[in-house]
């Protein structure tokens, strides 16, 4: 990786002698085609928020992408390590990350099988992002799995007129340290541009041993003329994180909130003797994208992309007292005693390939806009396990104790059209999607897997926008989404059904030079929604189940108001009801009806507030606050599953200096997190099981819960040198 980037740096320096060239408007227009097909336009009747590169830079000191989006309306973020570095997650309108469709330059990023997004695999990716659009609700048609909470469209940076070098270093609490180097060649000979980035992030984490060792790279080359653009990208990352997905119970939360049970090795008395040093998650992911864009006429532009992602890695565990039969080991006799159990160290591997193509054709003339697009993607994932150590030399470690393969193909086509009639704009969007998914082999519990599912979905969307005047518009839209179950749903053995969502959005947008207001009401009606039960599987991933009918009903308000010449106030809030319509539960061996209950992980009130003070062009500071109301971690409103609400306040500082020589700009940034030292928990889990042996002839349901505590006051500071 360093060799590649050194070459890039030298190449950029050698060609920087070329005269300054302005990138023409046509070229910028071609660049925007990469995300046009999957994003909502300014007047489209959908609810959205957009962050620019400048917005992201204010807080980009090493934390993952979800944490940088935390202040957006109706967004809740979570982090296993307690500080936003390592494994993080995002929920929008109560829907978890497996239901948030993520694309990078229009190419799906969600893992095909788990449907999750693992930002830890792309550390510091925000440093290579030009803009992010978050569409809440179903939104417009996009590539990849259906959006059941939101769509997150990311556009990477690229073309620049001038040669530049940027060096960024940050340091903060818990030995959190980040370094990155960025180079942009500027325009070369009127037609070329090369840029890149390397980065490393390390942190001890707030939770005991929740360390992170992250590395990433990004390289991009561009060719462009008035009508054609070719963009080639290679980016990726590697992560080694000590496991911190186990959580802790309530008693431990009160007495030792940083305790991490991962890697615990127990003595004969059941006491912790020590911790295994290498209880880690170790994964690498490389992405390659090639985009072709051509403008045929002033009205017609087409884009096609090829992509390939290679992921591989494992998580390692120390296990005690494991049965030989679970690992295909043969018992043996030692000193007259039959040995059929052993301590061991195992690795569970995932080796996967994801490749395909996306395409779009864009027609825009006067008041008419038509986009035809789609994608074909294929995924192959090998899941297998190996034992790498036991105390017995007579045990052969050459085999795999489980081995299965998941294959998934995903094809979709969509057509979007909009037409403006004076003050009215009518929008229509039709998508057809086909999914084929198979799993074959042996699972880690020795179960033979033979799963084959073929699904097809029709997803219509339509809406209307009324432009009352240049400052105000109203919109209404309907959008349907269908979504296939994920791998864990199929492996649960419950024959999961695909789910369907009908989303209704009604909104008002007001924009002037001094203020912007957005208000919208949404009603999301689900059939067979796969909701989180609160329980986790053996790798800390949430378990879901079909629940029949359910809904989310809410109002979202956000604003950006200039107060005088020095203050900007950006508040937002979301008030909602998120309900199972008729929930049933097994309690003490009997099925009981609970009628309407709150959906899991769905707070009824979410609010953010940013007050920014900017006395001059070189200095700004922001007071950032977030409030999340109580929420349940299960769907039965059990008191043990309640996650208490919390409020967190952060302060951000940024100061810029423009030296006269050698350095274009020096930027000092500081982020003070949780300044009031709140002892809060952003995430947790809830489980239940039937106890049939404690009391003869009686079934008793046992409940339990776990928590992921977050850090108290902590800080990050950074300096950026721009040459």
Q: What is the pLDDT of residues 691-704, one digit of tens each?
A: 767 767 777 788 89
Task: Name the pLDDT band for 157 (thresholds 50, 70, 90).
Answer: confident
Closest-CA residue to 198 (of 287, 131, 127): 127
Distance CA 363, CA 369 (A): 6
Distance CA 344, CA 167 (A): 44
Output the domain CATH number for residue 313: 2.40.170.20
- 499 near 482, Cβ under 8 Å? yes
Of the two residues 114 and 8, the one the predictor is more confident about is: 114
The most confident of the ranges 14-18, 50-54, 423-427 is: 423-427
Mean pLDDT of the chain, nearest integer: 90
- For residues 574-597, one letter each, b for 16 or more C-beta atoms within 10 angstroms of the residue's C-beta and e for the rest, the string is bebebbbeebebebeeeeeeeeeb
Q: What is the pLDDT of residue 330?
A: 92
Q: Which of 252-256, 462-466, 596-600 has the lowest mean pLDDT?
A: 596-600
Residue 237: partners with Cβ closer than 8 Å, 6 or more residues away: 120, 121, 122, 123, 125, 214, 215, 216, 217, 284, 285
Residue 362: partners with Cβ closer than 8 Å, 6 or more residues away: 33, 36, 37, 300, 301, 302, 303, 369, 370, 371
Give the burial class of 397: count Cβ atoms within 10 A of its Cβ; 0-12 exposed, 13-18 middle, 19 or more buried: middle
Distance CA 628, CA 29 (A): 40
Q: What is the pTM of this model?
A: 0.92
Q: What is the pLDDT of residue 381?
A: 96
Number of domains in the chain: 1
pLDDT in tens, 580-624: 997 766 665 565 666 789 999 999 999 999 999 999 999 999 999
Average pLDDT over residues 106-133: 93
Tokens of 177: 């340290």
- 535 near 488, Cβ under 8 Å? no
**Strand partners for 272:** 266
Task: Name the pLDDT band for 18 (thresholds 50, 70, 90).
Answer: very low
Q: What angle do CA 35, 40, 41 make, to 5 degrees?
A: 95
Distance CA 203, CA 683 (A): 21
**Strand partners for 585:** 592
Q: What is the pLDDT of residue 667?
A: 94
Q: Is the pLDDT score of 412 beyond 60? A: yes
Task: Name the pLDDT band for 8 (thresholds 50, 70, 90).
Answer: very low
**Secondary structure of residue 33 in the 3-state scheme:** helix
Q: Is the pLDDT score of 221 beyond 90? A: yes
Q: Is the pLDDT score of 83 beyond 90? A: yes
Q: What is the pLDDT of residue 334?
A: 85
Average pLDDT over residues 435-454: 94
Q: What is the pLDDT of residue 59?
A: 85
Distance CA 586, CA 595 (A): 13
Task: Name the pLDDT band for 190 (thresholds 50, 70, 90).
Answer: confident
Q: Is the pLDDT score of 26 beyond 60? A: no
Q: Which residue has the tokens 């997150």?
A: 152
Distance CA 606, CA 557 (A): 11
Average pLDDT over residues 382-388: 96
Q: Is the pLDDT score of 30 beyond 90? A: no
Of the two residues 78 and 24, the one the predictor is more confident about is: 78
Return the half-sphere exposure (C-beta side, CA atoms, 13 A cut-off) of residue 684: 26
Q: What is the 3-state secondary structure (H, E, C) of 664-707?
A: CEEEEEEEEECCCCCCCEEEEEEEEEEECCCCCCCCEEEEEEEE
Q: Is the pLDDT score of 473 beyond 50? A: yes
Q: What angle do CA 367, 371, 376 make, to 5 degrees?
A: 175
Distance CA 373, CA 357 (A): 11
Distance CA 459, CA 187 (A): 42
Average pLDDT over residues 393-413: 94
pLDDT in tens, 503-516: 999 999 999 999 99
Percent of the chain with pLDDT over 90: 74
Q: What is the pLDDT of residue 6?
A: 47
- Report the residue count for the chain: 723
Of the two residues 544 and 264, the one the predictor is more confident about is: 264
Distance CA 332, CA 340 (A): 7
Task: Name the pLDDT band for 662 (thresholds 50, 70, 90).
Answer: confident
- 289 near 233, Cβ under 8 Å? yes
Q: What is the pLDDT of residue 4?
A: 43
Average pLDDT over residues 294-308: 94
Quote the domain boundaries for residue 129.
2-722
Q: Is the pLDDT score of 458 beyond 70? A: yes
Average pLDDT over residues 299-308: 95
Distance CA 145, CA 645 (A): 31
Task: Name the pLDDT band for 633 (thresholds 50, 70, 90).
Answer: very high
Q: Is the pLDDT score of 707 beyond 80? A: yes
- 113 near 101, Cβ under 8 Å? no
How far CA 378 is from CA of 356, 405, 563, 686, in Å, comes to 6, 13, 51, 35
Distance CA 139, CA 477 (A): 9
Average pLDDT over residues 664-670: 93
Q: What is the pLDDT of residue 23?
A: 53
Percent of the chain with pLDDT over 70: 93
Tokens of 60: 């980009």
Distance CA 120, CA 125 (A): 10
Between β-strands 567-587 and 665-673, what pairing exists: parallel, antiparallel or unpaired? unpaired
Average pLDDT over residues 547-567: 93
For the beta carbon of residue 524, count every other beta carbon within 10 angstroms.
27
Average pLDDT over residues 440-467: 94
The most confident of the ranges 346-355, 656-665, 687-696 is: 346-355
Distance CA 613, CA 178 (A): 27
The DSSP 8-state label assigned to residue 298 in this structure reads: S
Task: Name the pLDDT band for 11 (thresholds 50, 70, 90).
Answer: very low
Task: Name the pLDDT band for 19 (thresholds 50, 70, 90).
Answer: very low
Q: Is the pLDDT score of 436 beyond 90? A: yes
Tokens of 28: 């910028």
């Amino acid at each position: 990786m360093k060799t590649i980037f050194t070459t890039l740096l030298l190449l950029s320096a050698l060609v920087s002698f070329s005269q300054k060239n302005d990138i023409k408007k046509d070229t910028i227009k071609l660049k925007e085609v990469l995300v046009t097909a999957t994003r909502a336009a300014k007047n489209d009747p959908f609810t959205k928020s957009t962050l620019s590169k400048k917005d992201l830079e204010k807080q980009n000191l090493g934390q993952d992408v979800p944490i940088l989006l935390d202040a957006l309306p109706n967004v809740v973020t979570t982090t296993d390590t307690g500080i936003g570095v390592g494994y993080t997650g995002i929920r929008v309108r109560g829907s978890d990350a497996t239901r948030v469709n993520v694309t990078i330059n229009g190419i799906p990023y969600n893992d095909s099988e788990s449907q999750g997004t693992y930002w830890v695999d792309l550390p510091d990716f925000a440093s290579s992002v030009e803009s992010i659009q978050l569409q809440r609700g179903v939104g417009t048609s996009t590539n990849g799995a259906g959006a059941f909470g939101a769509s997150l469209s990311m556009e990477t940076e690229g073309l620049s007129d001038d040669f530049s070098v940027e060096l960024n270093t940050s340091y903060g609490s818990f030995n959190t340290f980040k370094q990155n180097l960025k180079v942009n060649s500027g325009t070369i000979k009127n037609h070329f541009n090369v840029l890149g980035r390397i980065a490393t992030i390390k942190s001890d984490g707030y939770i005991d041993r929740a360390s992170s060792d992250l590395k990433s790279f990004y390289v991009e080359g561009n060719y462009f003329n008035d009508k054609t653009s070719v963009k080639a990208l290679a980016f990726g990352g590697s992560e080694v994180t000590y496991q911190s997905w186990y959580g802790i119970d309530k008693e431990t939360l009160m007495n030792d909130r940083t305790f991490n049970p991962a890697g615990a090795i127990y003595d004969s008395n059941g006491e912790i003797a020590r911790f295994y040093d290498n209880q880690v998650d170790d994964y690498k992911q490389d992405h390659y994208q090639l985009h072709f864009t051509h403008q045929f006429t002033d009205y017609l532009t087409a884009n096609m992309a090829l992509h390939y992602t290679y992921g591989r890695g494992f998580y390692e565990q120390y296990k005690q007292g494991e049965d030989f039969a679970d690992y295909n080991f043969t018992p043996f006799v030692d000193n007259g005693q039959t040995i059929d159990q052993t301590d061991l160290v195992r690795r569970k591997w995932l080796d996967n390939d994801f490749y395909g193509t996306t395409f779009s054709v864009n027609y825009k003339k006067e008041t008419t806009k038509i986009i035809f697009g789609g994608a074909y993607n294929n995924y192959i994932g090998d899941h297998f396990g190996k034992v790498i150590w036991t105390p017995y030399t007579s045990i052969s470690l050459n085999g795999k104790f489980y081995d299965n393969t998941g294959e998934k193909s995903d094809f979709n086509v969509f057509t979007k059209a909009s037409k403006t009639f004076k003050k009215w704009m009518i929008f229509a969007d039709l998508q057809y999607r086909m999914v084929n998914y198979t799993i074959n082999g042996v699972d880690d519990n020795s179960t033979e897997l033979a799963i084959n599912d073929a699904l097809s979905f029709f997803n219509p969307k339509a809406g209307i926008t009324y432009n009352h005047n240049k400052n105000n518009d109203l919109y209404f839209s309907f959008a349907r989404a269908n979504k296939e179950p994920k791998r864990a749903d199929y492996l649960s053995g419950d024959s999961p059904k695909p789910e369907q969502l009908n989303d209704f959005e009604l909104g008002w947008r007001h924009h002037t030079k001094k203020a912007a207001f957005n208000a919208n009401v949404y009603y999301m009606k689900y059939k067979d929604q796969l909701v989180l039960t609160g329980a986790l599987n053996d790798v800390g991933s949430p378990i879901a189940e079909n629940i029949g009918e359910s809904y989310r009903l809410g109002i979202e308000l956000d604003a950006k108001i200039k107060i005088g010449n020095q203050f900007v106030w950006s508040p937002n809030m979301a008030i909602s009801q998120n309900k199972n319509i008729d929930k049933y539960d097994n309690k003490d061996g009997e099925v009981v009806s609970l009628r309407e209950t709150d959906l899991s992980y769905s707070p009824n009130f979410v609010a953010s507030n940013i007050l920014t003070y900017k006395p001059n062009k070189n200095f700004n500071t922001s007071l950032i606050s977030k409030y999340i109301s109580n929420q349940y971690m299960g769907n039965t409103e059990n008191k043990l599953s309640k996650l208490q609400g919390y409020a967190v306040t952060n302060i951000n500082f940024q100061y810029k200096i423009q030296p006269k020589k050698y350095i274009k700009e020096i930027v000092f940034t500081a982020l003070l997190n949780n300044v009031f030292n709140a002892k809060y928990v952003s995430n947790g889990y809830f489980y239940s099981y039937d106890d049939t042996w404690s009391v003869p002839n009686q079934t008793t349901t046992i409940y339990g819960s776990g928590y992921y505590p977050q850090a108290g006051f902590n800080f990050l500071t950074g300096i950026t040198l721009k040459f």
